Amino acid sequence: MDRTDIIYNLAEILNCSALKYEPLSKHTTFKIGGAADTYVRVTSLSKLSAIIKECMDSDVDFMIIGNGSNILAPDEGYHGVVIRLDGDFRKISLVDEDTIYCGAGATLAALCKFASRCGLSGLEFAWGIPGTVGGAVFMNAGAYGGEMKDVVYSVNHLTYDGEAGRTEKDDLEMGYRTSVYRGKKAVITGVTLKLKKDDPENIRARMDDYMGRRSSKQPLDYPSAGSVFKRPEGAFAGALIQQCGLKGKCHGDAQVSEKHAGFIINKNKATANDVKSLIREVQTKVFDETGYNLECELIIL
């Protein structure tokens, strides 16, 4: 019996949706990835704690997945349990006149809409980023001069040992595409955000402006995982890649976008190996020609 069958059976007992051999291509914005042995949607903190405890006790590998917008899943799949936060983890509520509590499984889009309806400003930069709130905090997502660290007040989590805890703003160590959670054996479960009151029409106008900029500059009509590389100090990854004549470069159906060289797109049926080969070629050529070492922002599982 596959060890993940233990988790699958527990998920059914807990009334969590569970699937065997679920293609990760269905759960990543790249539309790439083989099957996970078991895929579970967890709907409450107590159920998440039970699933993680059983994974730890049974020595079963597991990972938390958000919207799958910043990951490249392997062609051979994932030999373990993939956990998606759902139910309670997608709820958003107003705490007071300028404070929102949001479950980690909610999308940034849902959070931005909620904030704008409440007349709360500060999240406009995140409108159009295709991730979940937990993932955005984990990597300190940002755009157009804004970052999650600007609005996050505290973060709730569940350790792999099953202890619920909270990290305050000053201890989050949020930097460029990183946070304390990158090195923490814990699952982000919810986020408290402090925003500023503003007219909903002004907020919406800024959101529309940012979305217009995204649409005009980014290849949103193809599956991708957003910006592949971190911004190197003193330069821009996309500009360096374009400078090296790599716009439109392909490996199989993976292509450096002709619209924005910082993106790699899935033109049709790209594999993870296609993408990885293309990343290596881009990194090598950019380093050889410019001296810049491009570091992946994309998480390669």
User: How many CB atoms sit inside 10 A of residue 19's CB?
Assistant: 16
Q: Is 281 noted as a catalytic residue in this protein?
A: no
User: What helix, strand, coil percent values describe the chain, rounded to 5?
Assistant: 35, 30, 35
**Which amino acid is it at 243?**
Q
**Catalytic option among 49, 84, 177, 257:** 177
Q: Terminal CA-to-CA distance of the chain, rounded, Å?
A: 25
Q: Is 215 noted as a catalytic residue in this protein?
A: no
Q: Is 177 noted as a catalytic residue in this protein?
A: yes
Residue 247, classified by CB atoms within 10 Å of its CB into exposed (0-12), middle (13-18) or buried (19+), is middle
Concatenated DSSP letters of 279-290 = HHHHHHHHHHHH
Max Cα–Cα distance, the chain, nearest Å: 58
Of 171, 277, 179, 266, the residue nearest 223 (C-alpha): 266
Where do the H-state alpha helices sit in the chain?
A: 4-13, 45-57, 108-117, 133-138, 200-217, 237-243, 272-290
Q: Do residues 194 and 267 touch, judged by C-beta distance below 8 A?
A: no
**Catalytic option among 25, 69, 227, 257:** 227
**Catalytic option among 22, 124, 147, 297:** 297
Residue 57, classified by CB atoms within 10 Å of its CB into exposed (0-12), middle (13-18) or buried (19+), is exposed
Active site residues: 177, 227, 297
